[in-house]
Structure 1
Amino acid sequence: MFSPKWLRVIPLHLMLVPALLLVLVYSYGPIAGIYLAFEKFMPSKGLFGSPFIGLDNFRYVWDLPDTNQVLINTIVIAGMKIVLNVTAPIILALLLNEVRLKFFKRSIQTIVYLPYFLSWVLLGGILIDILSPSQGIVNQILQSIGLKPIFFLGDPAWFRFTVIVTDLWKEIGFNTIVFLAAITSASPSLYEAAVIDGANRWKQTLNVTLPSMLPIIVLIATLSLGNVLNAGFDQIFNLYSPQVYSQGDILDTFVYRIGIIDTQYGVATAVGLFKSVISFLFISISYLLAYRFANYRIF
């Protein structure tokens, strides 16, 4: 005799309880801290006992001389990362798809994917060593061909470029694997029809491979737009120094210095809330555009 359906699904729902508790405690619980953005926080009076000051923290932030430059740095660095981390993996995936030697193809996949598993704490130390203007291997190569050494992590003119390129080096492997998986979804019959029609490999790529990748490309690009103000705190924090603040300081490091070092918790929360609201708007717009132009929808 079969038990009622609701009795059979109870164990499945119970399995969700630990994950649900984690989300409630670590994702929804801290939302109460948003109130800090609208008060002059005093530890002795607590979160809800401190004086309410409305939008004064936001006005204070906008009046700071560094705010505009920090916002520009964040948008430029994050924007370049989004563009490169979508386009470069597509190109690499298309190139790897043309490789017929499986051992070579898998070796390249492993090499480009490996940095993704390393933290920026470890990579930061490695990059500081290899990019050192005095003993770094990169500058030794430049000097060997008659060029002057470059202070990649200390020269504001080079810092943004260094951050963007090293981030691409670390992240390109993951999206490449995703796009390679998307390529396998293309029906072999489409390639066979293209060959019969006289299409060469380039035309097959344009008319069969890329259209089959389009849903995943739209998904990756849509999710990336939500990070338009997220330029990578871990990376910047481990690589930057005061001499490159003018070109490398971003919202997250700005919040860290204001909130953790200067203990202005209300001001730091105001900046974080501003960033979250803008990111929410961008990702909402991106989902709307993805649905309108690519018929992509989550639900």
Structure 2
Amino acid sequence: MPELRILALNNTQIRDWPIGLFELPRSPDFNLNLLNTPITQVPIVEPGSVQAELVTRARLDNNKLERDAEDRLVSYRRAAGLDPYRTYPPRGELDSQFWLEHLTPEIRQGWQEIWDDLEREHGSQGFFEVIRSQRQPTPDIVHDPADLLRYNQNLRQLRTNVLRLLRAADSDEQTRTALFNLSAMPTHCADAGAQLFNAMGIEAMKLEAWREPTPQARTDALVHAWTRASSPRTFKTCSPNTASPWGWTRCASTPPKARARPGSPTSRLKRLNATGNSGMRLKKSRAPRACLK
């Protein structure tokens, strides 16, 4: 079947990869789903080959792979320039739409480019999972309707804070590494996800503080950030049900300067600089990189 685009073998009892998978050229958008199967191995092919690329695009349960198979898959993904430890493809607009839908089309496009570039970075999966954990809960899991009301009241600030996280991760490598490391351990607990979200917010606040225009302003902003980091109240109301906005009452004073990445034009942030986002006007960066310790 040379025109085959989707092969859904998930939730079956197959133990081996489908016979004939490599016999015909496959479309770049070929979708092979092997999730929730007993498969523990991956085919032995040449890293960087068309066959290896096909293996890297397949959806399977990495945690079920034997050690040699996992190492083999990592080598295939590295050769293809992909995050070797990502367990599913980047979700793109499936996740970003909720956080960006309030923006104008032009501004939303700029933020979507930033989102997509970051999601392609190695180690970014946990970062976006923490952001996803802050989405509005479904009514059937909300115990107190007042929680949902508070969430909606805080939603604008919550969206603004998500954009601040994106800006911080996009504009500074040291901060990006810190954010990815904070979110590296998966969590399935709402309260833990909220605490991680707050901790990530503190990292963004510290970066913003270093970009203040005067030494006194930087000192005041850093004191504010560390006060928030050490305050137990930071976490008291943090859950997807209440959407605590970190206690971030300050607007970010400066936007990031876009990092040079393949396919990531620096003009994407020039559009954002002119019009701002979510009620937050963006200005030119004024703090030297040497200040970012």
With the length of structure 1 as denominator, give the TM-score of the two structures.
0.23
With the length of structure 2 as denominator, give the TM-score of the two structures.
0.23
Higher relative contact order (CA 8 A, sep 6+): 1
